[in-house]
Amino acid sequence: MTPEVPVIVAASVLAGHDAPILPITRAGGAPRGVEKQGMRLFRAIGGQQAIRLVVKTRPEDRYKVLWGPCTTTSMWLGAVEYDDTLENLLRIFELTGFGDARVNARAPPHGLVTLEEVVSLYREGRLSCGMGVNEVASRVISIDPETPLIEAMTTMCDRRVRRLFLKGKRGEFISDRGVLALLFSPKALSTARDAPELWTDFKVADVRPTTAAEVSPDSTVEEVGRLVGEGRNVFLLSTGLSLVSRWDMVMKPWKAGRLQLVS
């Protein structure tokens, strides 16, 4: 994705292809970046950045701002080499706060590595962690399905979360990707063009929900990590009060010095 690409195009690609993020690179040249704590960071855009742009823009201006360059609402993405270590990769995740990093190639396009690939190492027997999931779990944030969507999007931004669980619907949640899929559908974008102030006039219940699998709070992180697969990357503890995400299964044990790479 080049810097000149409009937000509306980038967000539509994120929604239509269920992509986690899109790196922003300059065609025909090395991408600009910044140095932070000895690491080179580059721009990218993800679902959270698109949602934040919508939330902070006045309703009547929302369609117009979508035609601005995607750098308007970008994030900083770390980069690793193909032969880099897992330790360096996790340090980049910690620095940026996102579970995605660019993998440098000699020339664009570059690769992308995410927490999804790291968590898959549990299933392959390459990662080990004896911590209990109750030691790394995050608190569930719930919302009423009848809540206006823009309020839910604001909550996502303010609380820095990607998922909101639905009150009265055990295990069901909406995600930032689900929100994008709704707002950047052809029908919704027609509304954005013709009546931008009505574009986000949805309820939370209009977003297609996902259901989290339940696990016992007595499970270990490694046991739950082996359950991760396509469509299964968030787990609800059977108490109903806490969840375990890929970030919880990798970054929290690593910070605690309890994550081991098995050779």
Shared domain check, 178 and 114: no
Helix (H/G/I), strand (E/B), else coil: 56: helix
CA distance linking residue 189 with residue 50, whole number of Å: 14
Q: Is residue 179 part of a domain?
A: yes
Shared domain check, 218 and 146: yes
Cβ–Cβ contacts within 10 Å for residue 229, how many?
Answer: 12
Shared domain check, 251 and 143: yes
222 secondary structure, DSSP code? H
* Residue finishing a domain among 105, 125, 145: 125
Q: Is residue 1 part of a domain?
A: no
Residue-wise pLDDT tens digits, 146-189: 999 999 999 999 999 999 999 999 999 999 999 999 999 999 99
Q: Is residue 171 part of a domain?
A: yes
Shared domain check, 160 and 248: yes
H or E stretch covering 33:
strand 33-36
Mean pLDDT score, 211-240: 94
Shared domain check, 149 and 48: no
What is the domain count for the chain? 2
Shared domain check, 146 and 109: no
Q: Residue 1: its pLDDT value, please?
A: 79
Domain limits for position 114: 7-125
Shared domain check, 90 and 164: no
Shared domain check, 150 and 50: no
* Residue finishing a domain among 80, 105, 125: 125
Full DSSP string of 69-103 = BGGGG-EEEEEE-TT--HHHHHHHHHHHSSSEEEE
CA distance linking residue 117 with residue 128, whole number of Å: 15
Mean pLDDT score, 108-132: 92
Q: Residue 25: its pLDDT value, please?
A: 78
Shared domain check, 103 and 196: no
Q: Is residue 2 part of a domain?
A: no
Query: For residues 65-88, b (16+ Cβ closer than 10 Å) or e, as one string?
Result: bbeebbbbbbbbbbbbeeeeebee
Shared domain check, 243 and 198: yes
Strands 138-139 and 242-244, sheet pairing: antiparallel
Residue-wise pLDDT tens digits, 54-76: 999 999 999 999 999 999 998 98
Q: Is residue 226 part of a domain?
A: yes
Shared domain check, 192 and 116: no
CATH number reported for the structural domain that contains residue 48 in this entry:
3.10.580.10
Shared domain check, 240 and 148: yes
CA distance linking residue 249 with residue 263, whole number of Å: 19
CA distance linking residue 41 with residue 85, whole number of Å: 17
